[in-house]
Amino acid sequence: MAGIDHAPPPFFKRGPAPLALLTFYIAVSLAIFVVDLRFKSLDLLRQSIALLIDPVQRVAQTPGSLVDYAANYLQGMKSLQNENSELKHAQLNTAPNLQRLIQLEAENERLRKLLAVKEREKANGQVAQILYTARDPFSRKVIVDKGQQSGIVAGQPAIDESGVVGQVTRVFPFSAEITLITDKDQAVPVQIVRSGQRSVVFGLGNGQLELRYMPANADVQVGDILVTSGLDGIYLAGFPVAQVINIERDSAYSFARIFCVPVAGVENFGELMVLDPRQTLPPPPPESVGRGSDSGDKTGLRPKKKRAAKAN
């Protein structure tokens, strides 16, 4: 590192020594790396920089979308007609169920009222266009074109026409970042449709998901569909999430390894729907006192750790 010392003689004005500068910048970089990772308190900085580069990013995406547009425009009439007839066919196929849906929902509501069960939440949302995939190769995220200006908040789930895609993790003024369910360790609380068993499915980072902490003799079969269980205050119950494709039962371990693939076109480009946040749950009971009088249905939602800690 001797070369850099060929600086002007000291009677000219010069800044701090390169090594001092290097130390300073390295220290700052590492500091913001740790703060961003552990404390997540740099959102304001991130948002302001995002606001600055948002126009540049949109300009950079223009050529690609122009090519897409041209390809769509030049697509043959034949294929469009085919697609149209297929869609009509599909619509007719689903018609018997759809036409009775309103009546079914009304009936369901009435029955729930009779049973004094809380009414099902309605799923509303807004359609958002996927702008681009985040360039970071270590995670699976997409950026959509709705942000704070459209009232998006972090935590909202996103679905496409066949199932859950992911969850909004960061919100910028004009865009939002959606972490896909296949991102490493992204968790979705699910329920197996066939057996009604509840569990949590985790992303593996390679396009697959894994159902963890299921006992080796659990009632899971290849082909089982997992839907959201609604036990988290984020995802509404009943949206398809994944399908089991492979089960490894090894008696040496107490848990089975269950691999699933997402039902939704998670890694495809297109449009998706960002669902409104769920209605606020009743406030959690105070932490310190009065926990003993909790009724069983609420404590079931809590992590086991807290209960264990209380037992000590």
Partner 1 sequence: MQPTFSSSRILLPVRPWFIFLSLIAAVLFNFLPTAHWPGMPDWVALVLCFWSVREFRRVGMGWAFVLGLLMDVADGSVLGQHCFAYVLLAYVSASLSRRLLWFPLVQQALQVMPLLIATQLIQALMRLAVGADFPGWGYFIGPFIATLLWIPATFILLLPQYQPVEQDPDRPI
CA distance 229 to 137: 30
Buried b (16+ CB within 10 A) or exposed e, 276-300: bbbeeeeeeeeeeeeeeeeeeeeee
Count interface residues toward partner 1 (CB under 8 A): 50
Using the rule CB under 8 A, is 50 a contact of partner 1? yes
- 204/218 with CB nearer partner 1: 204
Task: Select the span of 20-28, 96-104, 188-196, 257-265 touching partner 1 (CB under 8 A).
Answer: 20-28
CA distance 283 to 233: 12
- Chosen residue from 13, 78, 118, 135 binding partner 1 by CB under 8 A: 135
Buried b (16+ CB within 10 A) or exposed e, 155-170: ebbbbbeebbbbbbbb
- Chosen residue from 17, 57, 81, 100 binding partner 1 by CB under 8 A: 57
State the nearest-atom distance from the C-beta of 150 to partner 1, in Å: 19
Map residues 220-259 to x or -, x wherever contact with partner 1 holds by CB under 8 A. ----------------------------------------
Nearest to 132 by CA among 208, 53, 201, 71: 53
Structure tokens, 188: 């979705």
Binding positions for partner 1, 139-158, rule CB under 8 A: 139, 141, 143
Binding positions for partner 1, 94-133, rule CB under 8 A: 132-133
Contacts of 244 (CB under 8 A, 6+ apart): 211, 220, 221, 222, 223, 224, 226, 258, 259, 260
CA distance 34 to 27: 11
- Chosen residue from 125, 145, 205, 208 binding partner 1 by CB under 8 A: 205
Contacts of 237 (CB under 8 A, 6+ apart): 120, 191, 227, 228, 229, 230
Using the rule CB under 8 A, is 276 a contact of partner 1? no
- Chosen residue from 26, 87, 101, 153 binding partner 1 by CB under 8 A: 26
Task: Select the span of 42-50, 87-95, 113-121, 228-236 touching partner 1 (CB under 8 A).
Answer: 42-50
Using the rule CB under 8 A, is 33 a contact of partner 1? yes
Amino acid type, 131 = L
Map residues 62-101 to x or -, x wherever contact with partner 1 holds by CB under 8 A. -xx-------------------------------------
Contacts of 248 (CB under 8 A, 6+ apart): 256, 257, 258, 259
153 by DSSP, 3-state: which? Answer: coil
Using the rule CB under 8 A, is 6 a contact of partner 1? yes
- 87/154 with CB nearer partner 1: 154
Nearest to 156 by CA among 258, 202, 34, 146: 146
- 140/227 with CB nearer partner 1: 140
- 49/106 with CB nearer partner 1: 49
Using the rule CB under 8 A, is 49 a contact of partner 1? yes
CA distance 118 to 112: 7
- Judge contact between 183 and 190, C-beta under 8 A: no
Residues that bind partner 1 (CB under 8 A): 1-4, 6, 18, 21-22, 25-26, 28-37, 42, 45-46, 49-50, 52-53, 56-57, 59-61, 63-64, 132-139, 141, 143, 170, 177, 184-185, 205-206
